[in-house]
Amino acid sequence: MPETNFIDKVRICCRSGAGGAGSAHFHRDKRNPKGGPDGGDGGRGGHIILKGNRNLWTLLPLKYRKHVIASRGGNGSSNQKTGADGEDVVLEVPLGTMAKVAENENLLCEILEHGEQKILVRGGRGGLGNVHFKSATNQAPRYAQPGESGEELWVTLELKLLADVGLVGFPNAGKSTLLSVLSAAKPKIANYPFTTLKPNLGIVPYRDHRSFVMADIPGIIEGAHLGKGLGHQFLRHIERNSILLFLIPSDSDDIMKEYQVLLGEMEKYNPELMDKPRLLAITKRDLIDQELEDMIRAELKFDLDFLFISAVSQNGLQELKDKLWSIMKLDQS
C-alpha cells in the first residue's frame, strides 16, 4: 500500500435529507364531491450511513469528498399515498473506522465488522398528512405537518487498523523487512530511521492454507505518548491489534532497556494496551554468532516469551509464526 495512498483521518460535512411534507388533500370524485381528508404522509429524508468493507485499507476515497449530502423525502399525496423516502448515502469505510463529532471529539459510532452499517446522521422525519388530524370535532382538517429538517454535522473519521499482529519497535528495528518477507506486502525499506511513515498491512500465510494479518506501524521514540515523532499517529493503530510483537535488534546496546522504553510509552498512552498478549522477537540474528546469542539469552530476564529471528536469512521465521498462531488460538479460546 503506497504511503501516499494511506489516509487514516478525514473531516467531512454530513447533511442528511429533510423529510417530505404531509399532504392536506381531500378526496374528490364524481360520486363524492366533498369527501373527507386523504392526505398522505411525507417520506423521511435520506440518512448518511457508514458501512464496513474489509477490502478497504484507507480513507483515501473520502479525502476529497468534503461534503456528503443526502436527498430529501418526497411529499405525501392524495389517497393517503406516502412520499418516497430520500435516498440514503452509504459511505464504505475500512474496518476499525471511528466516527467522532469534529467539534468535541464525542464518539458517534465505530465500524468493526464487514457489512456492518451504522447511521451517522439521520434524515428528517416526514410530516403527517391531514388524515391523521381528523376528529369528531374537526371532520375536515385543512392542515398537515411539514417535514423535519435534515441535520448537518461535521464529522471526523479516524482509522485504527485492525490486525491480528502489530509490530512494535524503534525505528530501523527491521519491522518492514520482516513484513516483506512474511507476506506479499512491499513496504519501503532502507537502512535509516523512519523509513516507514505510514502503516502497512500484509497477509501472512500459515499452515493448512490458513493466514493472519500483520501490521507494520511506524517506529516509536521516547516521548511518543506526548505526540513526539510520529506519536499518536502511531500509537492509536496498535490499540486494535490482537497481539503485539516487539522487535528489538540483536546488536542493540541494551535490549532490556529498549523493551522497557517501548512498554512504558504504550502504558502512558493507554494502560489497556498492557493487557494485550505480547511476544518479543530479537531481530538481525544473522549479525551475531551462536556464542554471542547464548550470552544474550543468559542476560535477558524477561517476563515474556522471546526468540531470535533473521528476516534476511529467514532463520526462525517458522517458529515465530507457530508461536504467534498459538497465542492467537489461546487468546480466542
> Is 167 found in the same domain as 155?
no
> What pairing do the DSSP bridges indicate for beta strands 107-111 and 97-101?
antiparallel
pLDDT band at residue 4 using 50, 70 and 90 as cut-offs: low
Total length of the chain = 333
Domain boundary among 108, 125, 159: 159
What's the structural domain count of the chain?
2
> Is 143 found in the same domain as 4?
yes
pLDDT at residue 190 tops 80: no
Q: Could you list the residue range(s) of the whole structural domain that residue 28 is in?
A: 1-159
3-class secondary-structure state, position 120: strand
> Is 175 found in the same domain as 324?
yes
Residue indicated by cell numbers 491480528 = 164
> Is 300 found in the same domain as 154?
no
pLDDT of residue 116: 96
First to last CA, the chain: 32
pLDDT at residue 323 tops 90: yes
Q: Where are the alpha helices (DSSP H) in 135-195?
A: 175-182
Read off the pTM.
0.69
What's the pLDDT tens digit per position in 228-267?
A: 444 345 566 777 788 999 999 988 888 888 888 888 888 8
What's the pLDDT tens digit per position in 132-150?
A: 999 988 988 999 999 999 9
What's the pLDDT tens digit per position in 261-314?
A: 888 888 887 888 888 899 999 998 988 888 888 888 888 877 788 999 998 898
3-class secondary-structure state, position 269: helix
Q: Exposed, middle or buried: residue 162 (CB in 10 Å: 0-12, 13-18, 19+)?
A: buried
> Is 325 found in the same domain as 196?
yes
At 319, which CATH number?
3.40.50.300
For residue 185, give the nearest of 157, 169, 161, 221 by alpha carbon.
161
What's the pLDDT tens digit per position in 26-82?
A: 988 878 878 889 999 999 999 999 999 988 888 888 988 889 999 999 999 999 999
Q: In this structure, are residues 20 and 77 in contact, taking their beta carbons and an 8 Å threshold?
A: no
